[in-house]
């Protein structure tokens, strides 16, 4: 009889826990079905959650913190001009977006995006990130809920103006000559990616098909979208899809860079698309649905294509290699007397000249000397004075370098001793650019 009672009690407890979990989830997502009890339930549940977070913070920092190495604790700052960085970081139950002057480390402006606000649109995960952010007139910002169904515009007081959840948006976003925004995306249903299918020898495989999307910055409405699979097939470039080492992610689109002015080598409205998986950059013309040029240069897993002159573009060469492809069979190698020292310790920025059909690197000796390397992500910007901003995403270090060496080396200090924040695709602004937006 006692055993039966214990079993019955256990079933009741499990049922009550399930009911409690459902109540907490609904309250967390902003529902008010519990009436006057809604707020007390939320406070109590957050108290338990905060105890768990406190334990995590003490014994293990969350993934959006980076352990600061000894060699990175000493900052370098030789900036003689104002350089503003717009970046985001996760802190507890909110995302902070800050505009900081790196010259004197002063905070110019900040925005906050509470997790419960984002939860109205999608389920927020513990390691979600917001990036990148773009500054708009009157200190509005547009920020991407990276790899989540959300593109958000807020005013200077962090009030939402519009929220686009047509696609799962990701990676870089750039404005075109009309002022609208281009950004990589992927189709979804209720936050779950809708894949394309490929059949080979009777075996069907799902794969992620990225989409290029154009957004009206004033209304948040989607103006245009186009599947990459369609672009490649319609231009007889399907063989390039097959070159990717990642069958399930053959494109990994990470940048859509619009051409703002026509030149002999590209037309206004053209798009430079960067694909990490096949280490490929293409020049695409949406008006005619034509791929104008394919670049398979001395770069691997590249990011961030910028147009820097009327006849040249710059590319962030991550200079990394495929590390997760495995083979079913064990490969046996014979001993060799011809060892090759093949060490990769730096990324770089390459310039491609259309007129000369040639590549050259920028400040590569500085990249080599300081082992500036990010295996994934990362971005850069070359300023009019020749200085280059570089975000070393993997280690969370922000650099400004030039032909003479390092001008700035810094990290985003966090609220946990010995750690700094993971930077999330920092957007930079100079004085005149900031003044034109204010």
Tens-place pLDDT, residues 214-265: 999 999 999 999 999 999 999 999 999 988 888 899 999 999 999 999 999 9
For range 1-8, the mean pLDDT: 66
Quick one: what percent of the chain has pLDDT higher than 70? 83
CA distance linking residue 152 with residue 145, whole number of Å:
8
Do the Cβ atoms of 254 and 184 come closer than 8 Å? yes
Q: In a 3-state reduction of DSSP, which class is residue 210? A: strand
pLDDT per position as a tens digit, 374-403: 999 999 999 999 999 999 998 999 999 999
Report which DSSP code applies to 146: T
Identify the pLDDT of residue 136: 97
Identify the pLDDT of residue 149: 93
For the question of whether the overall pTM of this predicted structure is more than 0.95, the answer is: no
Identify the pLDDT of residue 45: 56
Most confident of 11-15, 20-24, 128-132, 290-294: 290-294
pLDDT per position as a tens digit, 67-87: 998 888 889 999 999 999 999
CA distance linking residue 423 with residue 86, whole number of Å:
10
Question: Residues with Cβ < 8 Å from 429, sequence gap 6 or more?
Answer: 83, 84, 85, 86, 99, 135, 437
Residue 41 has pLDDT above 80, yes or no: no
Identify the pLDDT of residue 127: 78
pLDDT per position as a tens digit, 121-145: 888 887 788 888 999 999 999 999 9
| Helix 2-28 × helix 38-59 angle, to 10° | 90
Question: Residues with Cβ < 8 Å from 22, sequence gap 6 or more?
Answer: none
């Amino acid at each position: 009889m006692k055993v039966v009672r214990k079993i019955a009690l256990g079933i009741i407890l499990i049922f009550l826990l399930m009911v409690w979990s459902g109540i907490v989830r609904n309250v967390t997502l902003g529902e008010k079905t519990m009436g006057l009890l809604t707020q007390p339930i939320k406070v109590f549940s957050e108290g338990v959650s905060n105890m768990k977070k406190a334990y995590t913070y003490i014994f293990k920092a969350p993934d959006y913190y980076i352990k600061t190495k000894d060699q990175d604790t000493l900052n370098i700052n030789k900036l003689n001009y104002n350089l503003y960085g717009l970046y985001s970081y996760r802190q507890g139950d909110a995302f902070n977006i800050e505009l900081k002057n790196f010259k004197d480390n002063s905070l110019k402006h900040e925005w906050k995006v509470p997790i419960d606000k984002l939860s109205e649109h999608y389920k927020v995960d513990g390691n979600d990130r917001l990036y990148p952010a773009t500054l708009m007139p009157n200190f509005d910002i547009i920020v991407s809920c990276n790899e989540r169904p959300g593109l958000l515009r807020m005013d200077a007081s962090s009030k939402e103006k519009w929220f686009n959840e047509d696609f799962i948006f990701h990676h870089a976003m750039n404005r075109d000559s009309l002022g609208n925004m281009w950004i990589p995306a992927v189709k979804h249903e209720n936050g779950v990616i809708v894949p394309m299918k490929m059949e080979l020898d009777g075996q069907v495989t799902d794969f992620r098909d990225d989409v290029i999307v154009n957004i009206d910055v004033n209304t948040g409405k989607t103006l245009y979208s186009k599947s990459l699979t369609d672009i490649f097939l319609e231009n007889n470039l399907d063989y390039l899809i097959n070159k990717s080492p990642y069958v399930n992610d053959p494109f990994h689109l990470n940048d859509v860079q619009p051409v703002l002015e026509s030149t002999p080598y590209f037309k206004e409205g053209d798009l430079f698309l960067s694909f990490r998986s096949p280490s490929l950059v293409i020049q695409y013309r949406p008006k005619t649905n034509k791929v104008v040029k394919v670049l398979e240069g001395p770069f691997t897993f590249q990011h961030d294509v910028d147009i820097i002159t009327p006849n040249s573009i710059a590319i962030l060469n991550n200079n990394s290699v495929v590390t997760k492809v495995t083979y079913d069979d064990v490969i046996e190698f014979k001993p060799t007397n011809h060892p090759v020292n093949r060490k990769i310790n730096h990324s770089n920025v390459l310039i491609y000249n259309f007129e000369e059909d040639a590549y050259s690197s920028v400040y590569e000796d500085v990249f080599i000397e300081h082992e500036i390397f990010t295996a994934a992500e990362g971005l850069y910007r070359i300023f009019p004075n020749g200085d280059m901003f570089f975000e070393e995403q993997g280690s969370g270090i922000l650099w400004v370098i030039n032909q003479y060496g390092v001008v700035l080396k810094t990290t985003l200090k966090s609220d946990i001793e010995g750690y700094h924040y993971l930077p999330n695709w920092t957007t930079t602004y100079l004085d005149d650019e900031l003044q034109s937006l204010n």
